């Protein structure tokens, strides 16, 4: 199986166009994007598990599974969440406006929004933006789309790969946004993926779920699950590979390429956590099963004390084992080994006379690896996060302003 990273993002796959424009929902910068398949496409999606779901999430759930899809319209600067029936009317209007501008059916349009909760959308601005974006669609418009979905992100997030599927080169590309309010219980952010692979709807959905579970669901920044989390994939079949209609080798090849994209985007989100200075990888190994390993790794990655210790380059391994202890996983503390990078700082649940200077040097790197070995089984899980800094508070203390 060959997976080759290539330049590009959401328009790398054949038959996809995109645009990003400024319509005034944000004071400056691009704030509305349209992604368009030139032919009918299979569609898959996953959404927030938050009980409070934004209107675009509700509408896109309704459109999912209703037949071939053609487009996604997404705005930043306003979440269109907690706006009551007006919010639903505005989400429907966004879909209708995009459908009219693109010449497709309303149910063929996914809608997504991100930004401040509880403020009504300025629909005159949205309408003008959709019209402008529809006219600006182009095969190299993916980068503008990637920038248009950003909120507190400091950089665009886009990746693309080519994968061999049944002897045919299939392209998969994607963009994402996410920096704060990141605690995946599906995928806490927005992500849009396109592919020219020919694959049945049910298998596309299955592949998306598997890829999300192993990527977006393995990141955290601050433990908050958003109201607007959405991951959407469109597959238009333009690669002309034999249709994937069962979970065979072709399906597994496509899945591997999809995981490559979702994992790269997920890591980008963790690296770009609000105020972050360090990317942290938390490995829990020697567990009895994956679920327990993931549960413990998430607890460690979400610990404010662990995250601030990494920010301060303090090799305080006690915070790590403490988080493991309240994770809810049943384990034997006296079996636990802990490593910072390749420096072992604890063995069998007790401290070692480790090299403090070397441990500090490890924590000063841009990427920090924490490993906890439970010595109880053969399963492991990896979670990606970032440090917690003064700037995280600055960003979120004045988010609405």
85 in Cβ contact with 47 (< 8 Å): no
Q: For residue 11, indicate whether it is catalytic.
A: no
Residue bearing tokens 């959709």 = 130
Catalytic-role residue among 11, 114, 188, 230? 188
CA atoms of 48 and 231, how far apart (whole Å) = 9
Looking at the chain, the number of H-run helices and the number of E-run strands are 11, 15
254 in Cβ contact with 165 (< 8 Å): yes
CA atoms of 200 and 181, how far apart (whole Å) = 33
Strands 3-6 and 157-165: antiparallel
Question: Which residues make Cβ contacts (< 8 Å) with residue 249, sequence separation at least 6?
Answer: 166
What is residue 296's three-state secondary structure?
helix
Angle ∠(61,64,70) on CA atoms, nearest 5: 125
What is residue 239's three-state secondary structure?
coil
Residue bearing tokens 């994007």 = 33
Angstrom distances, CA of residue 264 to CA of 159, 162, 396: 7, 14, 25
6 in Cβ contact with 46 (< 8 Å): no
Angstrom distances, CA of residue 274 to CA of 174, 205, 219, 320: 21, 30, 14, 22
CA atoms of 105 and 108, how far apart (whole Å) = 5
The b/e string for 78-91 (b: 16+ C-beta within 10 A; e otherwise) is bbbbebeeebbebb
Angstrom distances, CA of residue 359 to CA of 302, 353, 369: 21, 11, 11
Catalytically annotated residues: 188
């Amino acid at each position: 199986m060959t997976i080759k990273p290539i330049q590009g993002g959401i328009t790398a796959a054949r038959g996809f166009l995109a645009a990003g424009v400024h319509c005034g929902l944000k004071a400056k910068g691009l704030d509305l994007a349209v992604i368009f398949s030139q032919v009918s496409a299979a569609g898959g999606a996953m959404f927030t598990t938050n009980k409070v779901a934004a209107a675009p999430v509700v509408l896109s759930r309704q459109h999912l599974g209703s037949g071939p899809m053609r487009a996604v319209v997404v705005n930043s600067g306003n979440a269109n969440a907690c706006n009551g029936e007006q919010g639903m009317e505005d989400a429907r209007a966004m879909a209708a406006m995009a459908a009219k501008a693109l010449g497709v059916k309303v149910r063929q349009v996914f809608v997504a929004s991100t930004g401040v909760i509880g403020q009504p959308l300025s629909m005159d601005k949205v309408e003008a933006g959709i019209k402008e974006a529809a006219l600006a669609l182009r095969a190299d418009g993916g980068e503008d789309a990637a920038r248009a979905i950003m909120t507190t992100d400091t950089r665009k997030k886009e990746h693309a790969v080519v994968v061999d599927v049944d002897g045919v080169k299939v392209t998969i590309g994607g963009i994402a946004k996410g920096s704060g309010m990141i605690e995946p219980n599906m995928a806490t952010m927005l992500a849009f993926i396109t592919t020219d692979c020919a694959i049945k709807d049910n298998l596309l959905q299955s592949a998306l779920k598997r890829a999300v579970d192993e990527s977006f669901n393995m990141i955290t920044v601050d433990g908050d699950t958003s109201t607007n989390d959405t991951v959407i994939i469109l597959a238009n079949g333009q690669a002309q590979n034999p249709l994937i209609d069962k979970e065979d080798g072709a399906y597994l090849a496509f899945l591997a390429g999809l995981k490559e994209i979702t994992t790269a985007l997920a890591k980008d989100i963790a690296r770009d956590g609000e105020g972050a200075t360090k990317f942290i990888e938390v490995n829990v190994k020697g567990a009895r099963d994956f679920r327990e390993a993931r549960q413990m790794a998430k607890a460690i990655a979400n610990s404010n004390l662990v995250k601030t210790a990494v920010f301060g380059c303090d090799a305080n391994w006690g915070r790590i084992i403490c988080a493991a202890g309240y994770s809810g996983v049943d384990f034997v503390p006296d079996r636990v080994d802990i490593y910072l990078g390749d420096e072992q700082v604890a063995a069998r649940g007790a401290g070692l006379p480790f090299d403090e200077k070397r441990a500090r040097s490890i924590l000063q790197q841009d990427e920090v690896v924490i490993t906890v070995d439970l010595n109880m089984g053969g399963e492991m899980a990896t979670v990606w996060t970032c440090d917690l800094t003064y700037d995280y508070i600055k960003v979120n203390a004045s988010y609405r302003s």
